Structure 1
Amino acid sequence: MKNNKRIVTPLPGPKAKAMIERDSKVVSPSYPRDYPFVMSHGEGCDVWDVDGNRFLDFAAGIAVCSTGHRHPAVVEAIKGAADQFLHISSDYWHEHQVRLGERVNELSHMGEVLSFMCQSGTEAVEGALKLARYVTGRSRFIGFLGGFHGRTMGSLAFTSSKYTQQKGFFPTMAGVTHIPFPNNYRPLLAGDDQGKAVLDYLEQVLFQSNVPANEVAGILVEPIQGEGGYIVPPDGFLQGLRDLCDRHGIMLIFDEVQSGVGRTGKMFAAEHWDVAPDIMCLAKGLGSGMPIGLVVSKKEHMAKWPRGAHGNTYGGNPLCCAAALATLDLVEQEYADNAAKVGAYFIERLRELQGRVDCIGEVRGRGLMIGMELVTDRDSKEPAKELCDRLITRAYHNGLLLLSCGQSTLRFMPPLCVTRAQVDEALEMIETSLAEALVG
């Protein structure tokens, strides 16, 4: 970009190169790093690398830094908790943990709820699976192709956004059957309404020929699919799942790890369709960067867990709970609304770009959970994976941090405090980077 004052050294710079070399000798190579960004510090939507280059962060630590980098209110809450104590196991009680449970209950769209606290999304999913099995006395589950729910062995059994996440780890937890996630842009079943088609397949085909409905403990689904491509389901689909689960005594489990806590412009993504699950999994943006996860369940279900049925040494850590409390206040008071307004503006601007660029097949999303799918041409809809990879690399060199999802979708998940001016700056970088990527 011309006159780009963000980038002051070749990328990666000398300090970044040196740290990456040190890392290669002592850290697992399994981390899926896309480009050589080595962070020094951040503030709001901006981050700096160790060589002094400044980037606009539209990845936000994979939608984790919901209130931006080191929001003063979150930092102050963490410091205040640290001044009291750093840890007490979940065998005991403390104010931050109890208050977080109260806040989640106050914000719940599920009626009265109880919360189990852990450190991550995958742990929240594991807890949800255990609860569904315990309450129903059943052992089977339904998951969705393209879903991502974590990498521990239970959650991994559901994860199917990329085969590399499963390769080499079979067998995972038994009893999981995958069905298509409804995607009207890339339909896997016959029918114009993929939501109805998937529901019909589940009820009329799967339950009739392969999976007894009365053996299914739960259906685990992302209200908006994340790693699978930021896919928004058709209206009526989630309500259809709710109705189906009610008919068959199945627990509906929403994985809101990526879509929850204001990301879509509402506190929880399922609120866009006014559908309440039996169990909800939260993590990522809940702690603004602190490691925390929650299993949130309708009280009538989790109340059935007896003492010792499930536990967690670090669950309810006071620093993490304090960060979550500050985050929920900021999201409720300001940032969910900002995500809705700035997200709508962002989508509008991306669709304007789509009208001028043939390689953009679809722009979709809610709030600040936005996907822009790249294709080789709009008629075939063939995924343009190499173009997507090149664009992300060029964006990095132009001062913008992005990640992909699905086969060839750019995902935009900036902090919820992002402004229209920052969206405009990012769009300029995207357009420049796309032009460079198209050249090759």
Structure 2
Amino acid sequence: MLDNLIPAEEIAAVIIEPIQGDAGIIVPPDKYLPALKKMCKENNILFIADEVQTGFGRTGKWFAVEHWGVEPDVILLGKAIASGMPLSAIVAKKEVMDSWKAPAHLFTMGGNPVSCAAALATISVIKEERLIENAKEMGDYIKARFNGLKEEHELIGDVRGKGLLIGVDLVSDRGIKQRAEKEAAKVCWRCWEKGLILTFFSKSVLRIAPPLVITKKEVDLAL
């Protein structure tokens, strides 16, 4: 289909979120990313993964693309890379970075040593405390709990995600998947009243993305 829309020679790069975040925690079909990567490689197009939301253990892997065995040419990182300190990064294959001559990739405020130290400490904590494994284990548990609630409440239309990046889609009609916008807002307000911070995206998808250090006891308390 893409071949019929835009000639390959006019495409410099394809930039994707392995799991769409603000669009409603959309997990792609299993064959999608490998096929997209294959198409990019065959047509000499850079395959760029935006892992700002999904990277650094959030999905139960260091990077979300690992779930599909895909190796990007470039990975974009931020947010979790330094546990809230202002830092972002572009990680790319050697041939890509070598083609980008200085000072094209130099920035006045780049490489702040305090933020970089925070990033190194973050990597150490993730490894030492096995937070990636915890993200997978707790994520599976949270999804199982919500799927149990789905059997009891027609309002829950879908539960999806990987690791601790989970979307709970609220619908007013499961048959036509009518978005339950007002209900989503009410759920969030009720949670806030009880001291639980929760928000929603894409009109009616509850975003469940707790810290990677969350425990089963804390999950049970929240639910």
Counterpart CA distance in 2 for 1:227 and 1:318 is 31
Query: Equivalent residue for 2:220?
Result: 424
Counterpart CA distance in 1 for 2:10 and 2:179 is 37
How far does residue 405 in structure 1 lie from its aligned partner after superposition?
Answer: 1.5
Matched, 1:250 2:80: no
Counterpart CA distance in 1 for 2:214 and 2:124 is 17
Counterpart CA distance in 1 for 2:106 and 2:214 is 37
Structure 1 unaligned spans of 5+: 1-200, 428-440
Matched, 1:259 2:54: yes
Q: Is the 8 A contact 1:267 1:331 kept in 2?
A: no
Query: Equivalent residue for 2:123?
Result: 328
Query: Equivalent residue for 1:392?
Result: 188
Higher RCO, Cα 8 Å, sep 6+ = 1
Query: Equivalent residue for 1:359?
Result: 155
Counterpart CA distance in 1 for 2:151 and 2:178 is 18
Matched, 1:407 2:208: no
State percent identity of aligned pairs. Answer: 45
How far does residue 310 in structure 1 lie from its aligned partner after superposition?
Answer: 2.4
Query: Equivalent residue for 1:220?
Result: 15
Query: Equivalent residue for 1:378?
Result: 174
Residue type of the alignment partner of 1:270: V
Give the count of matched residue pairs.
222
Query: Equivalent residue for 1:287?
Result: 82
Residue type of the alignment partner of 1:240: A
How far does residue 330 in structure 1 lie from its aligned partner after superposition?
Answer: 1.5
Matched, 1:318 2:130: no
Q: Which moved more, 1:338-347 or 1:328-337?
A: 328-337
How far does residue 313 in structure 1 lie from its aligned partner after superposition?
Answer: 1.4
Report Cα offsets for 1:51-70 as digits up to 9, x if no partner: xxxxxxxxxxxxxxxxxxxx
SS in 2 for 1:375: strand
Residues 165-204 of structure 1: matches in 2 within 5 Å?
201-202=1-2
Counterpart CA distance in 2 for 1:236 and 1:332 is 30
How far does residue 329 in structure 1 lie from its aligned partner after superposition?
Answer: 1.4
Residues 340-359 of structure 1: matches in 2 within 5 Å?
340-359=136-155
Residues 100-249 of structure 1: matches in 2 within 5 Å?
201-202=1-2, 207-208=3-4, 210-249=5-44
How far does residue 407 in structure 1 lie from its aligned partner after superposition?
Answer: 2.3
SS in 2 for 1:404: strand
User: Cα RMSD over matched residues?
Assistant: 0.9
TM-score of the pair, normalised by structure 1: 0.50
